[in-house]
Structure formats: C-alpha cells, structure tokens
Structure 1
C-alpha cells in the first residue's frame, strides 16, 4: 500500500537578479519622493525671497 505522492513546493534561495531589481526599484521610488520634496521646499524658499525682494513682506518686526 503506497499512498499518493503529494507535490511539495521546493524552497529555493533568494534570486539575486530579482533582489537587485527590487532594490533598484525601491531606491528609485524613494529618490523620486525625496527629489519631489526637495523641489517643493525650493519652490517655497524661492517664493519667500521673491516676496521679500518685492517688498511685500519684511523680516523686521513692526513696532
């Protein structure tokens, strides 16, 4: 009496190419988000200095 053979999934080690592709993808996504944040902060600074130069705002407290 022999029982039916069950096909088990054999566990393999990590795929190096797959790990590299996932790492590159995550790195590019994080870099893109960081760059968008940097551009947003740069835009805010540029708008502040443009208003300062036009005289619409001042950094000196009014008395």
Structure 2
C-alpha cells in the first residue's frame, strides 16, 4: 500500500508591512532628491540670467528697429 501523500503547496503570505514601508520611504527620498536637484538647477539658471542681465551682456528689450 502507498503511504500518505503530501502535496507541497505554495505558501501565500500577505504583504510584508515593514518592507513596504521601507520601499515607500526609499522611493519618496529618491523622488524628493530628484525634485530638489531640479529646483536647484532652475535656481542656478535664474541666477545666471539675472547676473548676465545686470552686467548688460543680455537684454530683454528689443533695441530700435
């Protein structure tokens, strides 16, 4: 006679809450860092523009036709 048959089943677990929180914090920090870099680049461009404008190297007014 055959012995008892055991069938292996995949164990389904719910989400690992700690891991999900860590993933969320990590993604949030990465997105925040990229946003901050974008903001710093815009500030740099604006500062360069006003510096050039003040030096007279560029103008926002079309001079005589």
> Gaps spanning 5+ residues in structure 1: where?
none
Tell me the number of residue pairs that the alignment of Structure 1 and Structure 2 aligns.
Answer: 63
Q: What is the RMSD computed on CA atoms of the aligned residues?
A: 1.5
Secondary structure (helix, strand or coil) at the match of 1:61 reads coil
| Deviant stretches of 4+, over 2 Å | 1-9
1:42 CA displacement: 0.5
> Gaps spanning 5+ residues in structure 2: where?
none
TM-score normalized by the length of structure 2: 0.85
TM-score normalized by the length of structure 1: 0.87
